[in-house]
Amino acid sequence: MTERVAIVGWAMSRFDTALRHLHREELVHGVVMDLYERTGLGPDAVDFVCDASDDILDGLSISNTGMIEAAGAFLKEETKIEEDGAFAALHAYQRLRVGTYRTALVVAHGKVSESSAVTYSNTICEPFYQRPLGLESITAHALQAQRFVEAKRATAEDAADWVVRAHANGLRNPHAHAARALTADDVMKSRPVASPLRLHDCPPLSDGAAALLLAVESEATKISKTPIWIDGLGLSHDLHYIGHRDLAEGRSVREAAERAYAMAGIRRASEELDVAEVCGHFSYQDLMLLECLGLCETGGAGAFARSGRFPVNPSGGALCADPIMVAGLVRLIEAARQLAGQAGEHQVPGNLRRALAHASSGLCLQSNVVFVLQKGA
Amino acid sequence: MNEPRIYENVIRIPYSWTTGPVIGAFLTALRDEKKILGARCRECKKVWVPPSDVCAPCNADIEPGDLVPVSDEGVLTGFTRVAHELMWRPADPPYALVLIRLTGADTDLLHLVKTPSSLDRLEMGARVRARWKPERTGLITDIDEFELTSEGNP
Amino acid sequence: MPPKVACVGIGITEQKSKWELTLPALYRRAAKLALEDAGMKWRDVDSIVIGNSPELFEGVNHPEKWIGEAVGGYGKPLYRVHTGGSVGGSTTIAGYVNVASGMYGVTLALSGNKLNDCAHATLGLSTVYDPILGRYNFAAGAVSFVALQARRYLSKYGYTERLGALVAVKNRVAAGRNPTAHIKVPDNYDVDMALAAPLLSDPLRLSDCCPQSDAACAMIFANESRARDCRGPVAWVKGACAVGEGLYYAERDIAVPIALRKAARTAYERAGITNPLEELHYVEVYDAFSYQEPIWYEGLGLCEWGEGGHLFESGLTQRGGKLPANMSGGVLSSNSIGASAMIRKAEAALQVMGKAGARQVPNVSLALGHGWGGGLQFHTLMIFGRDP
């Protein structure tokens, strides 16, 4: 039986609308050096490096060519997973389960300020049916939100309340660069973007990078006093064309969650987990995720969030900082921080034992990964 | 501290995408016959509009012989009025991106509504019909938009 | 010891100028070939890994989102790998890792590209260059960058253009026995004909360069118990490794692939190989350009630095020699970039399985497949054996 795998270190760069003073390689280098400083380790301690970035976002094909030096991967085993960093973490986890490697460094970056979020998401669409109609992240998620509301699973008020709560959390998180004090009225009166989405239902534009260190059990206990075990992991994939599926079903979220819960032995998520970080990029999407991840029943997301009885996105989530290709990895880091008691001002109080982290890839939750984390034994 | 130097440029690359026999047939039918085709899976009989090369739940191949005509009329199953500026927008705002269940189809088609009188009456279940361009070239935009066909409630 | 994992099925589409299929349909074709080869059905696959190289070739970002459902990905665990030209190798390794991790019993790994969906593939490739340091001023395309490597190799060790021509002849003639290969040459193809080909970027002639192909490859990996259920022969993964070196570092010598040396040492250690030249029976190297073959021999530790050309000239790696190399025709004969590094591993596995048809080398029980990518930086290796 191979060893368990734990998260033993992490680092996040500053997130901001434009990190103009840093070349993308400097950004990555900085976050990796930060991780080494925090863990007291260096490149020698890393057996395998897994980076994540997007060529079209970077405007550079084979965007990891410069990452070998930047991530300290010189003459190391390395690969690039071209999805959100959370999926690179998944691959790194798999590597460590093989038993050949003892530690793995995951690093993801995205500088949307150097490119265009619309180009990034419009080009995800196949070229024949969706791309010529200008479908991209905002319009696609507007259609998903509209379907969710029509199915009576949430209201505009629910979404507004969620945004207010997210930003209030974000104000306690120095990385949540876009967080501000909002009222529900502010949200519901903000500029219409693509119905039903208004400005505050949408994520900010963010540059950023993040790094994560994973280790097998015998190594983890040497590196960290609070290793955070990855107890459950699930991944799934849905149809591509936006009209070929029910956008409000969230099928691949449910499948990913089921797989992660089965692996971790979780039967009732809201009772057996203590905190969740979910990577919705829009208010309605976060609410939909609460249902699809099994935290609340169908149609109950608004009430569940308002009840405040289960902490979701104490970091503020992607609504407060949304670095493309990184936001999901950040959810994993934030969930780990909560369990480790290292979330600073946005720490959820109490003895937290198990956490959920979710990330997605593609439009409208097409592909999803779910992690179940545990602190302690 | 000096201001960072910003270098701006674009990447311009031409493409010639193969549509393959199935998507190719769909686009050709738009151009030559003002017809919308769907793919009927030989196993589950579900009619996919627009067609892909595969019925994914069945893992069954779709071939040109599986293509069947569906109506160019249907009902709205989703819509969003687009207000924000997009680099690649298909029309000048205001317009809406909509999802339509065409009669005969089992999935929704993504398209546009542009006409102001239609934009005012967008609601779930509203009946719509394709408005074709007189000059067509074999693109999804050979349909200029969908317009609402009925007054009041569907 | 990591768990035993075998490759149980392989599918390689024809590698040609333009497949009249969409990208997903092309991958599906490779997947079906592999399933048939393995005697498996779509439902037997537990997870999927998709490799595809620079998106700017097909102009679709995150192409696995489009491809996934065409290769049985609906409802399945699926993610994408992209490491440039070595992507086929990284994807193969990721497929192996999926199974070796214990999470899945059977994983389908696919990799490919349709270079010819890009109306100007070399322009697409120019986006590999850093925009600030040279893309818009003197982006050289792949040919010229590798020409620098070739020139360095020739001047460093004193070989001549004839070496490139000899490699071209070996591989281009070998392609005649490979039904999927893109470029075939007449039976009487010889060194003079190779040397008469037009210069593209000195010293590289057309004969020294790979074509632009559309292709996809699929390999199915299975754990020990699922592999033992398979009727036909399988190829066991004995060792795998992928190592990268920097792009622009000061002491870099692009004719001395130290990352490959490191990857090879590690892979041999994992496979229990101490003398690769003696113990390997077959090798497929990623020879996008002719001179690369002898350079990669050196990186693989088949000979000392600088001796690759002599090793080639000795005839050891010819058909009938002690360690035949690239009997598929190599990348020189077919290059979709995306599939190429996986096809090198697939060809090695096919040799071990005894399923390499007219290009089969007798008695191959240990074979290696290589791939490179990025700015001559990333090297991937997988070694297959007949015994678990």
- pLDDT tens, residue by residue, A329-367: 999 999 999 999 999 999 999 999 999 999 999 999 999
- Judge whether A169 lies within some domain: no
Say if the Cβ atoms of B20 and C20 lie within 8 Å: yes
Residue with tokens 């079906």: C32
Q: How far apart are CA A262 and CA A258, in angstroms?
A: 6
Token duo for residue A171: 């104000």
Q: How far apart are CA B28 and CA A294, in angstroms?
A: 45
**pLDDT 10s digits, A272-291:** 999 999 999 999 999 999 99
Q: What is the pLDDT of residue B154?
A: 43
**pLDDT 10s digits, B8-20:** 888 888 888 999 9
Q: What is the DSSP letter of A44?
A: G
Give yes or no for A242 touching B (CB within 8 A): yes
Q: What angle do CA C322, C328, C332 make, to 5 degrees?
A: 110
Choose between A63 and C103: higher pLDDT.
C103
Q: What is the pLDDT of residue C144?
A: 86
Instruction: Supply the mean pLDDT for chain A.
Output: 96
Q: Which domain holds residue C16?
A: 5-120+212-228
Instruction: Supply the mean pLDDT for chain C.
Output: 95
**pLDDT 10s digits, A146-173:** 999 999 999 999 999 999 999 999 999 9
Token duo for residue A145: 């939100």
CATH of residue A55: 3.40.47.10
Give yes or no for A366 touching C (CB within 8 A): yes
Mutant choice from A98, A106, A115 vs C, greatest count of C C-beta within 10 A: A98
Give yes or no for C122 touching B (CB within 8 A): no
Write out the H or E segment, with its range, that includes residue A303. Answer: helix A301-307
Give Dmax (Cα) for chain B. 67
- Judge whether A348 lies within some domain: no
Name the pLDDT band for B1 (thresholds 50, 70, 90). low
- Judge whether A127 lies within some domain: no
Q: Which partners does chain B have (≥3 C-beta pairs < 8 Å)?
A: A, C
- Judge whether A347 lies within some domain: no
What DSSP string runs through A92-135? HHHHHHHTS-SEEEEEEEEEGGGS-HHHHHHTTS-TTTTGGGT-
Of B77, B81, B88, the CB nearest to A122: B88
What predicted TM-score, i.e. pTM, was given to this entire model?
Answer: 0.97
What DSSP string runs through C133-160? IIIHHH--HHHHHHHHHHHHHHHHH---
Q: Which domain holds residue A91?
A: 5-117+205-223
Q: What is the pLDDT of residue B150?
A: 67
Q: How far apart are CA C243 and CA C261, in angstroms?
A: 9
Q: How far apart are CA C10 and CA C384, in angstroms?
A: 13
Distance from CA of B52 to the nearest CA of A (A): 9
**pLDDT 10s digits, A96-148:** 999 999 999 999 999 999 999 999 999 999 999 999 999 999 999 999 999 99
Give yes or no for A99 touching C (CB within 8 A): yes
Q: How far apart are CA C219 and CA C343, in angstroms?
A: 9
Distance from CA of A48 to the nearest CA of B (A): 33
Q: How far apart are CA B69 and CA B59, in angstroms?
A: 22
- Judge whether C100 lies within some domain: yes
Distance from CA of A175 to the nearest CA of C (A): 27
Least confident of A62-76, B69-83, C23-37, C150-164: A62-76
Q: What is the pLDDT of residue B93?
A: 84
Backbone φ and ψ for A157, nearest 5 degrees, come out as -65, -40
- Judge whether A342 lies within some domain: no
Rounded to 10 deg, the angle between the A137-150 and A283-292 helix axes is: 60
Give Dmax (Cα) for chain A. 56
- Judge whether A39 lies within some domain: yes
Q: What is the pLDDT of residue A174?
A: 98
- Judge whether A59 lies within some domain: yes
Say if the Cβ atoms of C117 and B16 lie within 8 Å: yes
User: Taking 90 as the threshold, does the pLDDT of residue B85 lie above it?
Assistant: no
Of A129, A150, A194, the CB nearest to B84: A194
CATH of residue C63: 3.40.47.10
- Judge whether C359 lies within some domain: no
Number of structural domains in chain A: 1
Residues in A touching B82 (Cβ below 8 Å): 139, 142, 194
Per-residue CA distances from A212 to A323, A326, C117 (Å): 16, 11, 37
- Judge whether C380 lies within some domain: no
Cβ neighbours of residue B52 under 8 Å, at least 6 residues apart?
Answer: A241, A244, B22, B23, B39, B62, C24, C69, C70
- Judge whether A11 lies within some domain: yes
Provide ipTM, 2 decimals.
0.96
User: Taking 60 as the threshold, does the pLDDT of residue B153 lie above it?
Assistant: no
Number of structural domains in chain C: 1
- Judge whether C59 lies within some domain: yes
Q: Kindly state the percentage of chain A with pLDDT values over 90.
A: 96
What DSSP string runs through A278-298? ---SSHHHHHHHHHHTTSS-T
- Judge whether C15 lies within some domain: yes
Write out the H or E segment, with its range, that includes residue C5. Answer: strand C5-12
Token duo for residue C53: 């190289």
Rounded to 10 deg, the angle between the C292-299 and C141-157 helix axes is: 70
**pLDDT 10s digits, C27-60:** 999 999 999 999 999 999 999 999 998 888 899 9
Q: What is the pLDDT of residue A2?
A: 83
Q: Which partners does chain A have (≥3 C-beta pairs < 8 Å)?
A: B, C
- Judge whether C106 lies within some domain: yes
CA proximity to A136, closest of A363, A327, A366: A363
Low-confidence ranges of chain C (pLDDT < 70): 138-140
